[in-house]
Amino acid sequence: MSPAAPDLDLLRSSAAALRAAFFAGEVSATDMVSAAASAAADDRLGAYLTVDAEAATVEARQTDEVRAMLRRTGGLRELTGTHPLLGLPTAFKDLVKVAGMPTTFGTAALDHPVAAADDPLPRRVHRGGAISVGKTQVPEFGLPCYSENRIGAPARNPLDPARTAGGSTGGGAAAVASGMLPFAPGSDGGGSVRIPAAACGLVGLKPGRRRMPDDPHRDDVRNLMVSGPLARSASDAALLFDVMAGSRFRPTAEGMAEGPSMAAVRRALAEGLPALRVRTTVDAPFSPDLEVPLAEEARRSYGRGAELLRGLGHRVVDADRARGRHRSRLWPEDYHRRFRALWTAGLAASPFTADQEELLEPLTRYFLDLARSRPPEETAAAVGRLQRAARDAESVLGDADLLMTPMLATAPPEIGWFTSLDPAENYEAQCRFTPYSSVINVLGLPAVSVPVLTDAEGLSWSVQLIGRRGSEELLLAVAATMTERS
């Protein structure tokens, strides 16, 4: 085992710093995994549903043996490109299968079988060298924007443990924000990466539809879910994104291979970016069907985001003011009703038994009843209208390179607040809390949540940057310049 570098905090250092220290021989995989597993065993935030420290430790020791052998033979530099995450600990949300661990989907209604093999995304990340220490907390089937269920402790926000960490990658966000992990892969079907990122003060990237090799590639609004990274910085998010995206890592003069997103972030931090045109709006997609009031801090963070962008030399244009008092609709018409139909449609054919349905969360049963009672032609019409909007998705940017919105409308509510509501009220409260996220999944565009403000209570507030198709690297580079550039 290598002695850890004296100034390296294994639970707070960046993924980039841990990676560099590992390949330099200053810290071992066993060091990093032991620290992550110990933190997971002492988890007081409800971040984990499963921890497998024994298996992770065995894998870490094997990784250290490989590193020692390659140091002797001179093959370590090549390994930074073929296995760029080597030795770094991580964890997947419990909606995907990881070999040797149970898969719960956050529900008490189904059995929790131990997976025989990794799903495609965990397989890719593990091939990149990362070591899973456990599975993180999720809401039932990933449906709500808060991570509470009947099978484990709720995922709590490290910035205020009385509050939710968000969802559905709430456990992963709690683990990363608290320092238990350097980063975590997530998935986002209506905001499930960006919402917990914003709640916990992280950078969270939702790639565009069909960008990620291990996600479904149907060009269809029913294909909402995409995989994306959560990290404490855009630089670390870029490292994980490049692996998740299957990007090629190339050697650098400094000796550490990097992927295209990492290179874009590095250049942006060193040289800045060309001037971009950024359109901004607080117009909420759920309006006018739902009133969506913005908290004062949400408006302050929106203003702060615009200020940061202007300070970086970008041209910021207020889309709401430009369209005038009688402005045309920016978002798809009748979005509230149509998205609810789309979001719940897949449950209509769910093969739950009567006994299983009794064990479902009240919100899930409400969604199930909605889906079964809605006439099929109504669902088809809603999906069709949203599909037409998605074909012209980039129209929301107008002639701009990026569109900026607030990320969350209010501070993260306290644990138990959503579940204390009637299911119909619960769903509408979630829409009011996260009014700007789901429409971007419908449109299929990439977006990133960027922390820009810390309030007097220590809570973080973020803005959302939305880009054109294929602009994930640009989004991470802009996020880095807003948050990391001195």
Over the stretch 312-370, which tens digit does the pLDDT of each residue have?
A: 999 999 998 876 554 578 999 999 999 999 999 999 999 999 999 999 999 999 999 99
pLDDT of residue 5: 63
Tokens representing residue 433 in the block: 């809390």
Looking at 13, 28, 34, 93, which residue is catalytic? 93
Residue spans of the chain under pLDDT 70: 1-6, 323-327, 486
Segment 204-248, tens digit of pLDDT? 999 999 999 999 999 999 999 999 999 999 999 999 999 999 999
Show me where the domains of the chain are located: 93-486
pLDDT of residue 324: 59
Q: What is the 3-state secondary structure (H, E, C) of 402-440?
A: EEEEECCCCCCCECCCHHHCCHHHHHHHHHHHCCCCHHH
Contact in structure between 434 and 427 (CB atoms under 8 Å): no
Contact in structure between 305 and 430 (CB atoms under 8 Å): no
Determine the distance from the C-alpha atom of residue 326 to the mean position of all C-alpha atoms in its chain, rounded to a whole number. Answer: 35
Angle at which helices 15-23 and 234-244 pack, to 10 degrees?
70
167: left (phi over 0), alpha (psi -120 to 50) or beta: beta
pLDDT of residue 73: 87
The CATH number assigned to the domain with range 93-486 reads 3.90.1300.10
Looking at 192, 227, 235, 261, which residue is catalytic? 192
Whether 168 is a known active-site residue: answer yes
Looking at 132, 147, 168, 187, which residue is catalytic? 168
Q: pTM above the 0.85 mark?
A: yes
Whether 93 is a known active-site residue: answer yes
**What is the three-class DSSP state of 334?**
coil
Q: Which residues, 6+ apart, have CB-to-CB distance to 291 below 8 Å?
A: 432
pLDDT of residue 329: 83
Contact in structure between 382 and 271 (CB atoms under 8 Å): no
pLDDT of residue 1: 44
